Amino acid sequence: MARAATIALAITAGAVSAAVPAAQAAPITHVKAVAPTITTISPTSGPTTGGFRVTVTLDGLSDLSTNNYGTLYLDGQACQYGLFTPNSGYKSFFCTAPAHAAGTVPVTMTFNNLNLSGVTFTYGALPTITSISPTSGPKAGGTLVTVTGTDLQRTDTGWLEGNKCTDLKIISNTQATCVTPASEVLGDVDFRLTNSAESMWMTYTDIKFKYVNEPVKITGFSPKIIAGVNNPVNLTVTGSGLSGRPTISVGGTSCTNVTVISNTSASCTLQPSAAGDFSVTATNEGTTNTAPDKLTVVSGPAQISNIYPRGSAVAGGGLLKIGGQNFTDITTVKVGHNACTNVQVQSSFSLTCTIPAGTAGTASVLVNNGLPNATNGTTTFNYGTVSSATVRSKVEITEATSVAKVTSVLKAALDKYLNKPKVISVALSLHFVASSDAIFKKLTANKTATDNILNAAGAYLIDMGIYYDDGIEVKTVRDNDTAKTKTGFYSIYATYQSVK
């Protein structure tokens, strides 16, 4: 055992003269010694199981060397296997902490017959995990796992087989959540919690999380309508379970250049071989799924069959409805030289857009579906000063017995007002004209007459090229029959707009 350091008072050999007066003796200086201390301990806390390394830094000592020795105590229990660290100038001492009940305890040290103190150490219960939910998820990661256990506040990092959770949140001492990272392997992996600064707080349990192949699922794709056979387009599919090496096909034709953007998105190059409606299917990790909608391929340029309204004030700003064929998701619309904004394609036969500003006079409406080297459809649009007026056509019960009879009545009454190129829009409403509630009820109960009038009115507008598709308003209260006819009658009111 190394020799303990001793402190001695050295006195020079020889006789001391008794003749020297006491008053002339050298003064005695009293030096107050600084007590040695433990200045730091690292870590400052640990689990009650012990078995981890602690290091203390000593101060107030001199002439430390490899011959010095000491024992560190935590609440009186010896810290095992203690050694000084040479590269610290022998002022750091480390050892293996003993087990101890939870709580804060004093740290002391005996060193060359000196007693040192100055810090405390806190023991705590080792965090435990009793369960996780769910216990499985896709190897692409992203599963939100709820962790239940004890003393979870001592952890700040979650691990699954060496991979960190992307977002560990400690909710309470007994609950936490963790988002699983991606995994290169399938099957069960260990689930752990640890403290990134003090690794002795890592949990050790039999809790497992199982990585599985996520079934592929397609919830949508874009574009949904494309133009041109043998015209390559970039197709993006969205859904889940797309990580890895998926394949994508449209109507049985495989896409090329499949690129995985994320677990929820992938893109590919599609070169259609035929026009029509086709299923979009993805296969990945042995699972296959088909999108709920079909992709439409149109073969020719866009064509216009009707527009509504047929004109606008020069300021524009209204909604233009266009019917036709071969519209696609990239269809553009121009009125004159100005582009429509907010183009919304409902199907390959219908779209809407916001009318741009223009100049008084006629302009061409042009739609283009993106098909190269194609001649697209046009029609005429009228800009000008808009005025409104209302006209009425009276339909007797005897005239409402057939669509043909009603059409004849409408033409006779309305043609001179509505059948003109400068009429840009019409709104129709059906009124029941009766002198009493009893007659009103008979008119509304006559479904044959009502249906004939509505069908004839709609067909009449289409015959004039006015594709009014908002329906015909049917009034639910009676108009008073001032002539007081015994049967009452029907009236079609037409409120129309025209440009000058």
The domain limits of the chain are 37-124, 128-212, 220-297, 303-384, 386-499
Whether 220-297 and 386-499 share one fold: the answer is no
For the structural domain made of 37-124, what CATH number should be given? 2.60.40.10
pLDDT for the residue 68? 56
Residues 6+ apart with CB under 8 A from 432: 440, 443, 444, 475, 478, 479, 488, 490
Q: For domain 220-297, is the CATH number 3.30.390.50?
A: no
Q: How far is CA 488 from CA 148, 440, 460, 494, in A?
A: 77, 7, 24, 20
Q: For domain 303-384, is the CATH number 2.60.40.10?
A: yes
Pair of tokens at residue 350: 């219908």
Predicted confidence pLDDT, tens digits, the chain (500 residues): 333 332 222 222 333 333 334 444 444 443 344 567 889 999 998 899 899 999 998 887 654 544 556 789 999 999 988 888 777 677 888 899 999 999 999 999 887 778 888 899 999 888 889 999 999 888 888 889 999 998 888 888 888 888 889 889 999 999 999 999 988 888 889 998 888 777 778 887 888 998 888 889 999 999 999 988 878 899 999 998 888 889 999 998 899 999 999 889 999 999 988 999 999 999 987 789 999 999 999 988 899 999 999 999 999 999 999 999 999 998 999 999 999 999 999 999 999 999 999 999 999 999 998 887 667 778 999 999 999 999 999 999 999 999 999 999 999 999 999 999 999 999 999 999 999 999 999 999 999 999 999 999 999 999 988 887 778 999 999 999 999 999 999 999 999 999 99
| Identity of the residue numbered 488 | G
User: How many other CB atoms are found less than 10 A from the CB of residue 143?
Assistant: 18
Pair of tokens at residue 275: 């026009």
For the structural domain made of 128-212, what CATH number should be given? 2.60.40.10
Among candidate residues 485, 473, 493, the one with its CA nearest the CA of residue 397: 485
Question: Which residues are registered as beta bridge partners of 160?
Answer: 163, 191
Among candidate residues 413, 411, 472, 477, the one with its CA nearest the CA of residue 443: 477
Expressed in angstroms, the distance from the first to the final Cα of the chain is: 117
Query: What pTM did the predictor assign?
Result: 0.58
pLDDT for the residue 6? 26
CATH topology of domain 386-499: 60s Ribosomal Protein L30; Chain: A; (3.30.1330)
CA distance 456 to 466: 14
Residues 6+ apart with CB under 8 A from 65: 90
CA distance 289 to 215: 8
